[in-house]
Amino acid sequence: MASQDEIFETYQREYETLVGSIQAKITALADPSATPATQRPRVVNQAKRELEEVDEILGQMDVELASLPAMARSRLTPRVRTLRDQTKRLQAELQKAAASAGAGGHAADRDALLGTTYGTLEAGGGAGAAPDARGRLVSQTNRLENGTRQLEEVNALALETEAGAYETLEHLSRQREQLERTRDTMTGVNGWIAKSQGLLKSMQRHLATNRLITWMIVILLVILILVVIFLKWG
């Protein structure tokens, strides 16, 4: 039992290390001064890779749980369930931070573009340059807004797909637990059946012995009766 606890402690230390790193990245994404806009996509990708490693560790814990006796499994299952719930909350925080980081990056790009366009307008001067510059400005702004909406839609679809995948995994995990409990119940039933079969065989042996003794007594009585008849009438 100590070795099983040590294995789970090792998994949990790796889990906590990765969770700490992910939380640090989420905090950095929430602070624009800590993470420049150009570095935010890289930080988000790193956090997502670490979150995948967290899922792998939880999967390894599930595999270890499946190989444990029922008593040890019932003791360690709540711990794994708590870690999985914490992972879901961490995933939601990362998704929120990633969406915020993406929105901040788009705003920075738009501000840069607007600043460049206004600079061109001021440098060009004149009434003839103003309408063309204003038209380009409107066109570029519309393209940016359309691109931003498309990215937001794709991001929302990805979040919904990911949430559905996690719900499916959780459902499969519950089904596996039910199958394991059924298997344990069947193992107990098989044990009782084996004991019942042994008891029936023992009763059959006793019954055969009693039948043999009864026949021996009957034969002995017949012999005694014949002897008495012979002695009396012989």
Token couple for 121: 């307008």
pLDDT of the residue at 86 = 92
To the nearest 10 degrees (0 to 180), the angle between helices 40-66 and 70-124 is: 170
Token couple for 46: 């790193």
Split the chain (234 residues) into runs of 10 and give each run's mean pLDDT. Answer: 72 91 88 77 89 91 86 87 92 85 52 46 48 71 77 76 76 81 80 82 87 90 88 80
Beta strands in 32-187 (DSSP E): none
Range of the domain at 43: 2-194
pLDDT of the residue at 138 = 75
**Distance set, CA 225 to CA 83, 216, 218, 232 (Å):** 86, 14, 11, 11
Amino acid code (one letter) for 201: K
pLDDT of the residue at 88 = 92
22 within a domain of the structure (yes/no): yes
141 within a domain of the structure (yes/no): yes
CA atoms of 51 and 42, how far apart (whole Å): 14
Q: What is the radius of gyration, based on Cα positions, of the chain?
A: 40
216 within a domain of the structure (yes/no): no
170 within a domain of the structure (yes/no): yes
32 within a domain of the structure (yes/no): yes
To the nearest 10 degrees (0 to 180), the angle between helices 126-233 and 40-66 is: 0
The pTM for the full model equals 0.43
Residues 6+ apart with CB under 8 A from 21: 47, 50
The residue to which tokens 């009766």 are assigned: 225
96 within a domain of the structure (yes/no): yes
Domain tally for the chain? Answer: 1
224 within a domain of the structure (yes/no): no
- Closest by CA to 117, choosing from 133, 135, 141, 132, is 133
> CB of 144 within 8 A of CB of 110?
yes
- In terms of C-beta density within 10 A (0-12 exposed, 13-18 middle, 19 or more buried), how is residue 129 classed? middle
Token couple for 32: 């624009």
Residue 88 sits at the vertex; the CA angle it makes with 69 and 171, to the nearest 5 degrees, is 55
Residue 67, domain CATH: 1.20.58.400
Residues 6+ apart with CB under 8 A from 51: 18, 22, 87, 90, 91, 94
204 within a domain of the structure (yes/no): no
